[in-house]
Structure formats: C-alpha cells, structure tokens
C-alpha cells in the first residue's frame, strides 16, 4: 500500500531505529514565536577573541601566530584522562569513570572565515587535520568524535571558526546505536546500509543537495531538523584517515558547496551542529559500518526563525512540518558556488 506523503505520516530512520513525525500541512499555520536578529559580519581579527593568532587565552596561554589550521588541547576539557578507572554497578545509581581528551581545531587564523568562506585548499587542510588527529588519537582511544558547533544559536561560546575533537575510551551511545543498526542491516540484507542509501538517493535525486563522483550530500528521508543533511561517501570507507588524496579533495568541494548553500538560503551565517561518525578503534571488522557526517541546523523559516525540539519532540518523538524533499529543493535552488557575501562585495 502506497503512502500519501503530503498528509501526516511517520518516517523510519534505519540508522538510529527511531521514527519522526512529518506534518506538511502545518507550514500554513501563523507564526508568532520567538525571532532572533542575525548578527552583523565579524572582522578578520578580534583583539578580544581567545582563539585569534597571538591573543592570550583565558588560562594565560598565548596562541602562536598560526597561519593555517591550529590544534590545541582544550583549556576547559569536558573529559580528563585519569590513571585509574572506577565503576559502580548499583542498579539505580550506576556510574563509571570516563577517560578522554578534548582538543580545539581552529579552521583559520581569519576570525571571519567560516567553512563556506574558506578556499578549497584551506578546507582540504582542515580535512587533513581531522584525519591526522583521528589516526593519532585512535591509537589510544576507542572513539574519536570530530564536531563543530557553529553560531551562538547552537551554543557556540566563541565566534572564531573552530571545531572540537573528543576522544574517549568508552563508546558513545549515538555511535553504538548506529553501528548496531548498520550491522543488523548487513546481516539481513548482505550489504552496506549507507552505501545502499547513497546509491538509491543518487538514482532518485529527490533529496540530493550536492553530489560528485565520490560524495553525496542529502536531506535524509527521515530528517528531524528542517534542513538536516547527511554527507555520505559513495565508496567503502570506515574512517577519515582511509580517504585518498583525491577523495579528500572532492570532500572539500562538497563541504564548501553544501555550507555555501546553507548560508545563501537565508543570507546569513547558517548555524548548525555537525560531526563525523567514524568506525570505532575498539573494533576490527570494518565491513558493516560506514563513515558519514551529520549536519543539524536549527533554522526553519528565515534567518531569525528557528526550530525548537520541545513538547511532543521531547516527550514522544521528533516532528517536522517542512518535508525533506521540499528542504532539498530549497537548498538546490540557491548557489553552491558563489557565497552571498562575495556576490554583495562584487556588486558594491
């Protein structure tokens, strides 16, 4: 039996095993919710920024006059690496010591250059650092989580373009859940879930935002956030260090084009949380799980209207009004090659 996707329905996320409620008709409802005013463009250098080259950080350390990507151990890490592990097995109050390392990755010395404003070569350097850090930390830790929180709306405490890396000896829940789902899919279907997904999405094109010979960026069929995207390799890959020189170059092009489309959609520096899911170093069989990146942007109707996960979303399951197909249409309709700021400067 076919399902009318223009009416309220639920979509299943095979990567998480969860469902999302889709209510397309609700886009017609009036909006009187909270709106925020986008901030003006930031300067290339900010003397008050803790991450700009040559500036002093809160703990008294002085940043070098770095010229490319700069990595350092987080001054206020969420994780420590204690020598001893302890665990409580109490059924109601179970707890365990965590071990890990937190690092900060400054993408550029230029305070104003977010990912879409970097050149392909600069973005490629970021990807190389992500891969190098993964390989180094993977020798000591089971999981290496690379992520970026962009914009104050997503809780970013510093506007300088940067991301983070958290490496842990334990396996985080989200990654564990995805691996279980991918292994289950492989056991049932005899193939790789995300390779199958990439091929099916490229064939249909309904939810494709960016695509080249090596990578595809889609608004997934089960997306919970309005303009959520999934970046998938079209080849078998478990971790970033496995990427060839050419695959890193084509990834830089997809990431630049995707984030440029984000900014162009509402002509604002589009906030999001993004991160890479890589196969853990605690495992040896790499046949079932696939490298991929999630982008979770909160904006809904404009640069000042955001989606909140509240009420039903917090207590039952995620819900969205804008269909993933319509979101992909909107992202494809704007340029992925010319950023709106560059166009404005050219016409000034």
Which residues are known catalytic residues?
Answer: 162
Q: What are the backbone dihedrals phi and psi of residue 332, each rounded to the nearest 5 degrees, phi first? A: -70, -25
CA dihedral 332, 337, 338, 339 (to 10 degrees): 70
CA distances 141 to 81, 135, 189, Å, are 10, 10, 31
Query: Measured between alpha carbons, how far is 184 from 181 in angstroms, rounded to an integer?
Result: 5
Token reading at 6: 């223009």
Query: Measured between alpha carbons, how far is 306 from 226 in angstroms, rounded to an integer?
Result: 9
Query: Measured between alpha carbons, how far is 233 from 247 in angstroms, rounded to an integer?
Result: 9
Greatest C-alpha distance within the chain:
66
Query: Measured between alpha carbons, how far is 274 from 276 in angstroms, rounded to an integer?
Result: 7
- Do residues 156 and 149 touch, judged by C-beta distance below 8 A? yes
Task: Provide the 8-state DSSP code for 59.
Answer: T
CA dihedral 187, 190, 194, 197 (to 10 degrees): -120
DSSP structure string for 205-268 = -TTEEEE-SSEEEE--TT--STT-EEEEESS--SSGGG--HHHHHHHHHHHHHHHHHHHHHHTS
Which residues lie closer than 8 Å to 96 by C-beta, 6 or more apart?
Answer: 85, 86, 87, 88, 170
Which residues lie closer than 8 Å to 17 by C-beta, 6 or more apart?
Answer: 177, 180, 181
Question: In the block, which residue shows the tokens 């005899």?
Answer: 190
DSSP structure string for 258-298 = HHHHHHHHHTS---EEEEEE---TT----SS---EEEEE--
């Amino acid at each position: 039996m076919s399902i009318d996707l223009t009416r309220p329905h639920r979509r299943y996320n095979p990567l998480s095993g969860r469902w999302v409620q889709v209510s397309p008709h609700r886009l017609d409802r009036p909006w009187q919710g909270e709106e925020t005013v986008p901030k003006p463009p930031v300067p290339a250098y900010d003397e008050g920024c803790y991450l700009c080259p040559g500036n002093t950080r809160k703990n008294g350390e002085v940043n070098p006059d770095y010229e490319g990507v700069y990595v350092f151990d987080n001054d206020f890490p969420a994780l420590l690496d204690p020598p001893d592990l302890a665990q409580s097995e109490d059924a109601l109050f179970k707890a365990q010591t965590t071990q890990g390392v937190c690092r900060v990755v400054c993408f550029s010395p230029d305070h104003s250059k977010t990912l879409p404003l970097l050149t392909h070569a600069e973005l490629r350097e970021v990807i190389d650092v992500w891969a190098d850090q993964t390989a180094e930390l993977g020798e000591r830790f089971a999981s290496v989580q690379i992520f970026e929180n962009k914009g104050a709306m997503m809780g970013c405490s510093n506007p300088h373009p940067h991301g983070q890396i958290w490496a842990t000896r334990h396996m985080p829940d989200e990654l564990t859940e995805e691996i279980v789902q991918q292994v289950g899919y492989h056991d049932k279907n005899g193939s790789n879930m995300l390779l199958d997904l990439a091929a099916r999405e490229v064939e249909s094109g309904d939810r494709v935002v960016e695509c080249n010979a090596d990578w595809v960026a889609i608004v997934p069929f089960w997306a919970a956030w309005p303009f959520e995207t999934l970046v998938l390799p079209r080849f078998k890959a478990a971790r970033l260090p496995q990427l060839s020189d050419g695959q890193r170059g084509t990834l830089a092009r997809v990431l630049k084009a995707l984030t440029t489309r984000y900014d162009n959609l509402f002509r604002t520096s589009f906030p999001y949380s993004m991160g890479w899911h890589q196969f853990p170093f605690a495992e040896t069989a790499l046949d079932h799980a696939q490298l991929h990146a999630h982008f979770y942007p909160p904006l809904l109707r404009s640069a000042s209207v955001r989606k909140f996960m509240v009420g039903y979303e917090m207590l039952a399951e995620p819900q969205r009004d804008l269909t993933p197909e319509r979101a992909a249409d909107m992202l494809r309709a704007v340029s992925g090659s010319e950023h709106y700021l560059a166009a404005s400067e050219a016409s000034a």
